[in-house]
Amino acid sequence: MYRPPVPPFTAETAAQKARMAEDAWNGRDPTRVALAYTPDSRWRNRAEFLQGRAAIEAFLARKWARELDYRLIKEVWAFQGDRIAVRFAYEWHDDSGHWFRSYGNESWEFDDTGLMRTRMASINDLPIRADQRLFHWPQGRRPDAHPGLSEMGL
């Protein structure tokens, strides 16, 4: 499987890769998202360690069953060679209607075909009120005109 852009990354291709990941995650389709990773991809998400597409797909299905009305923005922090570091924020609510904004950083490493072989994520959740939400686009891809994290002061 070939998934451009591929390493070594430039500022433009790193930003493209981050936006592709953001778009896929905002689509909330665990099967589609898992295809962006190598079959033996290694993950750390918070304190959970995963390996392989099947584990990633199951994790994402659990995540989006719990994190409702999920909306995410990613932004490249740094890149070099086959690695990209991103920062992100996403908003969601639980089944009791309590809203959260989750902030974090991810370190990504890619293989030569553009599939992600390693993803390490550190994430913190901030409880917010519904009137403090900042991500209001319709479910799915963030519109191009919607500001990113830096423009929003996040």
pLDDT per residue as tens digits for the range 42-55? 999 999 999 999 99
CATH code for residues 11-132: 3.10.450.50
With bands split at pLDDT 50, 70 and 90, how would you rate the model's confidence at 1?
confident
| Averaged pLDDT of the chain | 98
Cα of first residue to Cα of last residue in the chain, in angstroms, is 35
Question: Is the full-model pTM beyond 0.95?
Answer: yes
For 1, the 3-state DSSP assignment is coil
Quick one: pLDDT at residue 70?
A: 98
> What average pLDDT score do residues 98-109 get?
98
Confidence band, pLDDT 50/70/90 cuts, at residue 140: very high
Query: By CB neighbour count within 10 A (0-12 exposed, 13-18 middle, 19+ buried), where does 44 fall?
Result: middle
Report the distance separating Cα 134 and Cα 151, nearest Å: 12
